[in-house]
Each structure stands twice: as C-alpha cells, then as structure tokens.
Amino acid sequence: MTIQGKIALVTGGSRGIGRAICARLGSMGCFVWVNYVSRSDAAEETIEMVRQVGGQGQAVQLDVADFNQVQDGFKDIVAESGSIDILVNNAGITRDGLVARMKEGDWDAVLDTNLKGAFSCAKAAVKPMMKKRWGRIVNISSIIGFSGNGGQVNYAAAKSGMIGLTKSLAREFASRKITVNCVAPGYIVTEMTQDLDEAVREKMLSEIPLAALGEVDDVAAAVEYLVSDRAGYVTGQTIHVNGGMYM
C-alpha cells in the first residue's frame, strides 16, 4: 500500500516542526488534518502550504491535553474522513524552570500536553487503524528525553515517557500492522527555540558535531520515511535527528 490518499492527522501542525510534517505528508498525497490549539491563522497558513505542494487538508482545533475533547474530536474526524491512517503526535510545550522554582502547574501542563496528549490521540486513532489493519503512529520526542536537561525535568520526563509509550504501543498493535515509532529531534530552529540567547546558542553549536542547528525539514524527512511503505518492518524505534549531538 502506498500512502497516497491516506488520512493523516498532525497534532500541533500549525507551526514549526508540525507544519513541515504537514507539508511533507501533503506532498506525499495524504489528506492532512492540521491540529492546533489557539492559532487558527497559523493552521490556515499550513493548509495553504499543503495545497501548494499538491495535497489537501483541513484545520481542527483540539486541545490535546483534554482527553474527552480528543476522543470526541477524533470520532468526528473519522465520521467525516472515514479513517485516520497516520497520526503524528507532535504537539508540545515547554514550561522550563529549576525544580526548586517549578510550580506544580508547570509540571502538569507539560506532562498533560506532551505525554498524556500523545496517549489520548493514540487511543482514539488506533480504533480506525485496527479496522483497516494498517496504521502509522509517529511520536515526536526530543533529545532531552535521552540526555536530560537541568531546568527541564517536566519536559525531559514527558519526552522520555514517550519512548516507553511508543515501545508499548508498538508491541500492542504490531499484529494489526500498525507501526509506532519516535523521532527525537535535537535543536531545531522554530518558535520554541528562537529565544535562546546568543551564548547558549554558541555553546550548543560547539556541542553539535555537524555544527549547525537543525531545520524543520530534517525532522519531516524522518517522519516521511517512518510513514512510508519502506518502513513497514520498522516499529518501536527512535530516529535521532540531532546533528550528532547525542549518540
């Protein structure tokens, strides 16, 4: 089966890495549901990009941190599109701070969005995938989930958690020909990383063997492979896209 004509849903598709993934899936012939939480203008711009590369898409406003909203929203999408074949759990936030100063709400917000959100979306998406006995789930983790990072205990815990989530889902759904994999980006140029001060940026560059920050298309290329037919025998794995910063 080729992925031409498949129905894809990308959480946090309105900006950054998610937007590049939407465009890539659109160029592969998918219908792309572009999820966002607050920036409908940005989601519409993504859809325009999807159209420009020959794909089709529609925006869907859902807060992935809200379990019930996700279950109901995915049901509506399946009713309208007939299926969800490809799910990319990309939506993510940061609420950084040293543990001593981190508020409970900062922990909860990051875990609820980045980890529970991926669980809620996967739970809702596997139903139509199981019926079709075909599916692709790609979770966007992070280098921080592997290396840890002072000031990011919440983010690191959520992104490490995604690895366990991925492997367990991969085992649970392999018999239904649903593959579940991770992409773990390093430092990619997006709104999430644009406010780094110059000293931090320079230090980071000195730690990256390929001596450059990554681009959103570098991550989209890994997703492109994982959702393709060529990756049909790959499940429970992580592709690191980080310029060699973590090996």
Using CB under 6 A, list all residues that contact ligand NDP. Answer: 11-12, 14-18, 35-39, 42, 63-65, 90-93, 113, 140, 142, 185, 187-188, 190-193
Rounded distance between C-alpha atoms, residue 156 and residue 188, angstroms: 16
Secondary element (H or E) of residue 240 = strand 238-241
Q: Which 3 state secondary structure label does DSSP give 61?
A: strand
Asked if residues 19 and 32 have their Cβ atoms less than 8 Å apart, the reply is no
Secondary element (H or E) of residue 135 = strand 135-140
Instruction: Quote the least distance from Cβ 140 to ligand NDP, whole Å.
Output: 4
Residue with tokens 């609820």, as numbered in its chain: 112
Instruction: Quote the least distance from Cβ 177 to ligand NDP, whole Å.
Output: 26
Asked if residues 199 and 102 have their Cβ atoms less than 8 Å apart, the reply is no
**C-beta of 90 vs 238, nearer to ligand NDP:** 90
Asked if residues 195 and 142 have their Cβ atoms less than 8 Å apart, the reply is no
**C-beta of 108 vs 130, nearer to ligand NDP:** 108
Catalytic residue among 155, 187, 233, 246: 155
* Amino acid, single-letter form, for residue 87: L
Q: Is the dihedral of CA 187, 193, 199, 202 positive or negative?
A: positive
**C-beta of 132 vs 160, nearer to ligand NDP:** 160
Rounded distance between C-alpha atoms, residue 51 and residue 57, angstroms: 7
Instruction: Quote the least distance from Cβ 245 to ligand NDP, whole Å.
Output: 10
Residue 79 structure tokens = 């009713």
**C-beta of 61 vs 130, nearer to ligand NDP:** 61
Q: Is the dihedral of CA 228, 230, 233, 238 positive or negative?
A: negative
Known catalytic residue at 155: yes
**C-beta of 236 vs 246, nearer to ligand NDP:** 246
Residues with a catalytic annotation lie at 155
